[in-house]
Structure 1
């Protein structure tokens, strides 16, 4: 498809596509839509599902100005039109206008929320458009309109509107000053009641945040009740995390339901609706043989919890737009190791803590900030390790740090081996080494906070 080109307009995301038309005595031929070649030139891979054609028998037929809740690819089969577009999306570009004359040699990609209109310049004009959602009465209810004759738009119609064929409905559309902007697609946080979910809700205050009371990720019926077209991103912070309980018959079923089957539902939704899926993974997908784990290391889980997380990761990796954020030793607003140690220190308890499991703490505010960074900067999709930065420690080292921050002696914490600590208990196997390489996330421009600084601030917050 040599000769094809894409031009930007004054409206962000509204793209003009110059098509190559092959003509001879018999007529002409063009490749009207060619996914592979056009996306390579920069056109969004918008996934059309419906093709509509509007036939206009006479010159001066004027339609619009309508903004629909989907993207569309507009082209002319025969004839010519004057096209006008108005940005009716929330944001700084609201009200921006772009006009282009269209014939068979020109097409336009129109993003969701940009209002579309046209006026025919030749008789027997056929106007065709691909859309990436199915029309329905419910979808029509979310259209946004603006008046063709609004002087604020400054559209210089080739045929004066007084002489044009315009429907009464189109003549009654509101002026720009009275238009309610089309909301942008939203972010959905699942698992909002957990430690990470609460931190994400703080840094993404406009996101929808649903806990299990609002949306049970394990219930297939729950997915049917959501209008996924209103979202562009899902952050899955929901998971079954009871490592030891996962080794029991009931726990095994619950772990697979939440960490695998539910993830499968999310993968289907994200793929079907072209959503970005952010999924939180775990150091438990590794057996801990390597001292530090990179993003490309093959999974080698020791127990059921790790197996389910590894299986969930494999499913998420099939989504075209995905970020798998792998983390370890999470500390946030809720029950966790640091809070437990601080409570024991306050009570004067001298605990025994394992000293042969090694890793780094991850504080949920840092983890949430890293996720927001990925969504804002949009590096290549894939896996990114994200933990706190600094020296690798044992759990006993962390406990001693907490005791010291609480004004107690580090020697109040007695180190013990995992074998001795778990003797006589039914526990899951845990990786000896849980530290994750941070080079890839740092290369995107995000620098995780040092664990020591975050720990000091966290313990200080527990005292206040």
Structure 2
């Protein structure tokens, strides 16, 4: 597996080995020992979402009960974003972006304490992710996807399709600091 750390330590772009021939391909999408060697925690929940072109989901985070997420696209293509919202982090408010597709088969590791979102750039996308904690809806919060302080350069083709939660999400600066995760080195 080819592993590339990004500009924010702990955020990884992973390229699993793919074995293919005229019949198709085979790849391991998860192997506990190999991913643990990278420092990924145990993953406890799998999620799957199908979305149409122009759907933007995010930016979402849970706190407490922060979830690390190992994400990948099985079919289609998305522009994926991880934003560091950990209080005291040297990378607070910075983001990492990557294009994920069923063709590239890349994975993206988003550590706990990061807000996550994606925008579908293909006709449809089948998006899979493994989480390091269970879903706790009472601890979920959303950060405004187009927060000017975050300056995310979304590759929009028109107005995105948003849920009500994402349409009305506050800017990061409007969220009470105690609602945000804390950078481990700042404790």
Q: Same fold (TM over 0.5)?
A: yes
- Specify the alignment match of 1:164 in structure 2: 160
Q: Distance in 2 between matches of 1:80 and 1:159?
A: 13
Q: Over residues 3-55 of structure 1, what are the superposed CA-to-partner deviations in whole Å (9 max), with x where a residue is unaligned? A: x1211223332111112223333333221111222333x242x1111111011
TM-score, length-scaled by structure 2: 0.84
CA contact (8 A) 1:144 1:180 kept: no
| 1-structure distance, mates of 2:164, 2:35 | 38
How far off is 1:64 after superposition? 0.2
Equivalent-residue separation in structure 2 for 1:185 and 1:177 (angstroms): 17
The alignment status of 1:178 with 2:174, answered yes or no, reads: yes
How big is the alpha-carbon RMSD for the aligned residues of Structure 1 and Structure 2?
Answer: 2.0
Offset, 1:132: 2.1
Normalized per residue, the structure richer in strand is 2
Which sections of structure 1, spanning at least 5 residues, go unmatched? 187-205, 207-464
Unaligned segments of structure 2, at least 5 residues: none
Residue in 2 that maps onto 1:123: 123
2:100 to 84, 97, 102: 102
**Cα distance, 1:81 vs structure 2:** 0.7
For 1:141, the equivalent position in structure 2 comes to 138
Question: What is the CA–CA distance in structure 2 between the aligned matches of 1:17 and 1:149, rounded to whole Å?
Answer: 27
Is the 2:44–2:131 Cα contact (8 Å) retained in structure 1? Answer: yes
CA-CA distance at 1:185 after TM superposition: 8.4
Aligned match for 1:67, one of 48, 61, 65: 61
SS in 2 for 1:164: coil
**Matches of residues 51-450 of structure 1 in structure 2 within 5 Å?**
51-56=46-51, 58-68=52-62, 69-92=66-89, 93-104=91-102, 105-135=105-135, 139-160=136-157, 162-181=158-177, 182-184=180-182
Q: 1:146 to 1:91 in 2, by over 3 A?
A: same
Choose between structure 1 and 2: higher helix proportion: 1
Deviation at 1:79, TM superposition (A): 1.4
Q: Does residue 12 of the first structure (1) align with residue 9 of the second (2)?
A: yes
> Based on CA coordinates, which of the two structures has the bigger radius of gyration?
1
| Conserved? CA contact 2:57–2:119, under 8 Å | yes
Deviations 1:266-323 (A, max 9, x none): xxxxxxxxxxxxxxxxxxxxxxxxxxxxxxxxxxxxxxxxxxxxxxxxxxxxxxxxxx
Q: Is the 8 A contact 1:84 1:98 kept in 2?
A: yes
CA deviations on 1:59-110 (whole Å, 9 max, x unpaired) are: 1111000012121211111111100111111113221111111124211111
For the Cα contact (< 8 Å) 1:88–1:144, is it kept in 2?
no
Rounded to whole Å, the distance in 2 between the matches of 1:16 and 1:26 is 27
Aligned residue number for residue 50 of structure 1: 45
